[in-house]
């Protein structure tokens, strides 16, 4: 038989996508229903080539030893196989005696990144995401075969999924049972594959899913959606989908644990005399009272207006750090007024001195709360 790569018209370094495209093109051209019964032999050759080259393990065996290596499972005799092959040689291949291996396998897990706003992490979010994944082929419904046909019993193993072989050892000839290299232990082969999925039972498609982002989720956390990953080969069960959440930076607010933190600039006069200001929070307008004599470094705390806590119904706090603005550009009148204030307070020649850290902390505490 001709070289499988030549049959499909691809190079020996061809990717799986290139092999699949080449097969689909030839299968549509040579299928007996299209080209007539005279092309049935060529169609079977193309299908046999694709059956081997589309399977990584079969392709590896074929590249090492040709068609015979694939048919014999890559073990021409002796102890050239794995430890399991040696074990099977002496103990009768117990693992292969379980019967044909199901063709359908569990699909792979998938990881999808998603970016949300800080506000969405505070309150939680219901959203839709679109992912490209492997889904069940709607043409063959995962059977891998063309409509009206089905998997054919493997002639190499008679449908058992395993074959017996005689190997030579220092003990003489030993009969062993191994997985069939032609059908890969399935007991059947796909001779008339579905043209839409190339006999895989699944295709790539975009899928839209609804996702619940819980309140309190942190940057880098993952949400697991069981059974929403890729459909397995031959319509096998789906893997899981993991959604990795990234929280975008916010212009005013930052997150510290379950608290929201922001900075608020207050004019010197307002800090000295006291005032009421309104800021815009995620919950709407929030009114704050600035006590007379407030200095920079004082923090105001609004209970329950922070980030929602995971798996709980309460929230952290909103923390506002106050920064008192000292004017740098003064009019003549403003300077005059400040000089008058300094004279009244006896601060025209202030007695400046360094303070210890403990003293300054105590003073701020006293000024704020006493």
pLDDT computed for residue 181 by the predictor: 83
pLDDT computed for residue 346 by the predictor: 80
Do residues 232 and 290 touch, judged by C-beta distance below 8 A?
no
State how far the Cα of 3 lies from the Cα of 21, in Å rounded to an integer. Answer: 18
Residue pLDDT, tens place only, 187-235: 999 889 999 999 999 999 999 999 999 999 999 999 999 999 999 999 8
| Higher pLDDT, residue 72 or 338 | 338
Task: For each of the domains in the chain, give its residue range(s) and CATH number, in order of start.
Answer: 1-71 (1.10.287.110), 106-136+202-248 (2.60.260.20), 254-348+355-369 (2.60.260.20)
Candidates 161, 244, 192, 157; CA nearest to 50 is: 192
Q: List the binding residues.
A: 137, 140, 154, 157, 180, 183, 194, 197
State how far the Cα of 257 lies from the Cα of 306, in Å rounded to an integer. Answer: 9
Question: Residues with Cβ < 8 Å from 359, sequence gap 6 or more?
Answer: none
Q: Which two tokens stand for residue 53?
A: 């080259």
pLDDT computed for residue 45 by the predictor: 86
Q: Which two tokens stand for residue 47?
A: 């299908």
State how far the Cα of 70 lies from the Cα of 136, in Å rounded to an integer. Answer: 28
State how far the Cα of 284 lies from the Cα of 275, in Å rounded to an integer. Answer: 20
Concatenating the DSSP letter of every residue in 218-275 gives -TT-EEEETT-SPPBGGGBPP--EEEEEEEPP-SS-EEETTEEEEEEEEEHHHHHH-E
Q: List the binding residues for Zn(2+).
A: 137, 140, 154, 157, 180, 183, 194, 197
pLDDT computed for residue 116 by the predictor: 96
Question: What is the chain's alpha carbon radius of gyration, rounded to the nearest angstrom?
Answer: 37
pLDDT at 236 over 60: yes
Question: Residues with Cβ < 8 Å from 223, sequence gap 6 or more?
Answer: 211, 212, 213, 214, 217, 242, 243, 245
pTM score, whole prediction: 0.63
pLDDT at 33 over 80: no
State how far the Cα of 247 lies from the Cα of 243, in Å rounded to an integer. Answer: 13
pLDDT computed for residue 355 by the predictor: 58
């Amino acid at each position: 038989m001709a070289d499988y790569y030549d049959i499909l018209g691809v190079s020996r370094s061809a990717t799986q996508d290139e092999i699949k495209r080449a097969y689909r093109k030839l299968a549509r051209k040579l299928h007996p229903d299209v080209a007539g019964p005279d092309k049935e032999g060529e169609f079977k050759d193309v299908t046999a080539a694709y059956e081997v080259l589309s399977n990584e393990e079969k392709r590896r065996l074929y590249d090492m030893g040709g068609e015979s290596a694939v048919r014999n499972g890559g073990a021409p005799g002796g102890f050239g196989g794995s430890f399991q092959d040696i074990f099977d040689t002496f103990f009768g291949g117990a693992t292969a005696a379980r019967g044909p291996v199901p063709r359908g396998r569990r699909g792979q897990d998938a990881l999808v990144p998603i970016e949300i706003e800080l506000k969405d992490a505070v309150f939680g979010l219901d959203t839709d995401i679109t992912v490209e994944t492997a889904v069940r082929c709607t043409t063959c419904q995962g059977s891998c075969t063309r409509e009206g046909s089905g998997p054919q019993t493997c002639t190499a193993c008679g449908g058992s999924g395993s074959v017996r072989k005689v190997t030579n050892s220092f003990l003489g000839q030993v009969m062993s049972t191994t997985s069939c290299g032609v059908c890969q232990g399935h007991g059947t082969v796909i001779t008339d594959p579905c043209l839409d999925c190339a006999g895989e039972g699944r295709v790539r498609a975009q899928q839209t899913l609804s996702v619940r982002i819980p309140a309190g989720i942190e940057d880098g956390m993952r949400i697991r959606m069981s059974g929403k990953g890729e459909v397995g080969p031959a319509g096998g069960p789906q893997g899981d989908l993991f959604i990795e959440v990234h929280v975008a930076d916010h212009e005013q607010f930052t997150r510290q644990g379950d608290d929201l933190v922001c900075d608020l600039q207050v004019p010197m006069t307002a800090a000295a005399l006291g005032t009421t200001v309104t800021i815009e929070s995620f919950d709407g307008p929030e009114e704050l009272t600035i006590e007379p004599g407030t200095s920079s470094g004082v923090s105001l705390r609004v209970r329950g207006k922070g980030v929602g806590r995971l798996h709980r119904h309460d929230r952290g706090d909103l923390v506002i750090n106050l920064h008192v603005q000292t004017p740098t550009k003064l009019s003549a009148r403003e300077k005059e007024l400040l000089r008058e204030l300094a004279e009244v307070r006896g601060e025209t020649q202030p007695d400046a001195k360094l303070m210890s850290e403990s003293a300054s902390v105590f003073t701020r505490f006293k000024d704020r709360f006493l």
